[in-house]
Chain A
Amino acid sequence: MKQYIKAAVLLVLLAAFLVPTLSLDFGNPAETSLDDYFIRYGQEQTGGNNIVADVLMDFRGFDTLGEATVLLTAVLAVGLVFRRLHKEEEYEYE
């Protein structure tokens, strides 16, 4: 019984994901004014040829800051999970 509910949920999700693709047009993005600005003026304003790097490090630098912070936090959390309280081979979670 539970399996059928899950399958029904999956089918509903598939339909919900497939219906919006009908309104999209591959190869012809709907709203491009911001990206056109980046392509036209990004090279002159920042000097970098790679527009993706310009967007990542300059125009949307806060995104990269948050991203780097997420990576730092993940490493800290993994280190906390595997931390060793004492010098011998005993782990804290055992």
Chain B
Amino acid sequence: MYYNLPFIIAAVIAVIGIGAMLFRRNLIKVIMGLSLVEAAVNLFLVALGYRMDAIAPIFTNAPGTSMVLPTVQAMTLTNIVIGIATTALLLSFTMIIYKKYGSANTDTVRKLRG
């Protein structure tokens, strides 16, 4: 069945995000890598609950009653909101760090300043 393409793509996106977090020095790009990992997790969760030839789990004018799994979609919604919260917090910290050090590079930030 489709050779598990969504799961493979989710794994690749997660590894790209972790690679951005490992190889990039800019704090903004590290946060972008974190957002990529979140997106990969969301894609994995939604793909995990997919059922072949099924519809979204909403009964309003539904054409049938074969539906995809609703619990993983609720988990995805929770994950999106928590992702927004963490991203906003990390970006605020990055703004403070940029104001204090004049740079968002981790090599510059590593030196302590009083």
Contact = CB atoms under 8 A, between A and B. Distances in A.
Contact of A29 (B4, B48, B75, B84): B48
Given A28-B1, A38-B70, A78-B88, A10 B51 contact: no
Contacts of B4: 21-22, 24-26
B75 to A, nearest CB: 8
A55 B49 contact: no
Interface string B47-73: 111111000011110000101011101
B15 interface: yes
Contacts of A56: 74, 77-78
Interface of A: 3, 6, 9-10, 13-14, 17-18, 21-22, 24-29, 32, 34-35, 38-39, 42-43, 49-52, 54-56, 60, 63-64, 67, 70-71, 73-74, 77-78, 81-82, 91, 93-94
